[in-house]
Amino acid sequence: MLKKILLLIAVMVPIVADAAKKPKKEEPIVHLTDEQIYEQLKKFALVFEAARDNFVEEVDEKKILEAAMNGMLGALDPHSSYLSADDFKEFSDKSQGEFGGLGIQITSDRGAVRVISPIDDTPAQRAGIKAGDYITHINGEQVFDLTLNQAVKKMKGRPGTKVKLTIVSDGAEPKTITLKRAIIKVKSVKFEEKKLADADEDAPSIGYVRISDFGATTAKELRDALESLEKKKVVGYVLDVRNNPGGYLTAAIDVADAFLDGGEIVSTRGRKKTDIERSFAKAGDMTGGKPVVVLINHGSASASEIVAGALQDNGRGLVMGSQSFGKGSVQQQKPFGDGTAIHITIARYYTPSGHSIQNEGITPDVEVLQSKLEVLERKESLYTEASFKNSLKNDATKKKKKSEDADDVEEENKNLTDAEKDAIDYQLQRGIDMVIAMSKLQSKVNEKSADNQSTEKSDIEKKSSEKNAGKQSGKKQSKKNKKQK
């Protein structure tokens, strides 16, 4: 995918011959002495002075120094960066659940800007931008010489203003789309009672919980959602974290804890072997042990993967969908007191079984790729008793309206209702299917257990009764013997 993008911009950006070579094997790290580090810092100062004094145009010292710090951190991994005062403020505002922009989570992928996930009900999501897409140009300017923060800044702006993005999707030609910026208000949790598409009124209902990101209010929103759904007597839950790019670690722990009655949720491990922190669930499953299916896809990252991994490894939930994104690293903000900060990777995430999420992600228990469902079998078979010539009629049955011919396909409606969207969401329908099946199985197991306990109790009472009867008989015989004497 990345090679295609590089080829697309090859005519615009000179590529040196070395870029085509295979990457060399990593050499062992050789640490510098304090004296050598000091010499390198002196060299850095000389480079700065030479750039400031000799560049053909007047130099913005602050800009090039910030770029140098960003480059230093960006050389470590795609998620470490320097945050200017404006960047740090935007990051804090976003974490609180409201910010301006397009509603898109991105990362750096070897110089390219790759979409982790669009956020629900935002300009990016409505424009059809998908997880895994690449952004090659912003307002006609190619992004390969921009830092991630610079790319983010170019996409942000005053609400109502427009921005053009050139998008490359896997297996498709590049397309340029125009989006209108908006205030992005992120409500982490949406929930409702759902049934299978076209299900009868008396069909069982499940609790559907959609978490779009893990923010400061997610845990409270989830508790409120589960309390409300439990009152509706749902038979189980579908927890949907598809295209959820992650967020706060504490929020992920609280979400997993709501479905668990104990056990490890996640461990974070730093550079040293002793740098291990483990998080455990507290007693009390808010759903009372009802079946849970977690829906994931390649846009589920970080905190989403923590929740899916915790429920999967503890045997609490069945994970369905496709392989997740694989972001298993922990970032921390380190403020400097002047409004600036650095965002730096300090550890890796591990699931309760000790599996590292980094670069691998969560493998679903049941792989269900998003598909378009096509009905191959009619609801009413063409070959029944009623299909025979001169068959007896059922007087009590009203004539049913003939179903439309299978070849008559309705024109695709872009303004689908929520129910229609649910019906064509193949992964969601299979998730609901699975929850209902698990609920039925759980009910049968509970009934059998109750029958066994009842039988055991009956046997115990019977034995006790026989024993008492034996004692009474023995007493009577003893009295009879005494009288005879």
399 vs 385 pLDDT, higher one: 385
Question: Distance between CA 330 and CA 269 in Å, rounded?
Answer: 9
**pLDDT for position 271:** 92
Q: Tell me: the pLDDT tens digits for 322-351?
A: 999 999 999 999 999 999 999 999 999 999
Annotated active-site residue 200? The verdict is no
Q: Which CATH number fits domain 1-9+99-185: 2.30.42.10, 2.60.40.10, 1.10.150.120, 3.40.50.1820?
A: 2.30.42.10
Annotated active-site residue 381? The verdict is no
Q: Tell me: the pLDDT tens digits for 423-472?
A: 899 999 999 999 999 999 988 888 877 777 766 666 666 666 666 666 66
Q: In the chain, where are the structural domains located? A: 1-9+99-185, 189-367
Annotated active-site residue 313? The verdict is yes
**Which of the residues 240, 327, 329, 425 is marked catalytic?**
327
**Which of the residues 188, 279, 302, 304 is marked catalytic?**
302
| Distance (Å) of CA 137 to CA 76, 131, 143, 180, 385 | 25, 17, 6, 16, 64
375 vs 172 pLDDT, higher one: 172
Q: Tell me: the pLDDT tens digits for 186-214?
A: 789 999 999 998 888 889 999 999 999 89
**Which of the residues 87, 254, 313, 425 is marked catalytic?**
313
In sequence order, which residues have a C-beta less than 8 Å from that of residue 119 and are 6 or more positions away?
103, 104, 105, 125, 184, 186, 212, 213, 245
Q: Which CATH number fits domain 189-367: 3.10.20.30, 2.40.30.110, 3.90.226.10, 1.20.1560.10?
A: 3.90.226.10
In one-letter notation, the amino acid at residue 145 is D
Question: Distance between CA 362 and CA 325 in Å, rounded?
Answer: 8
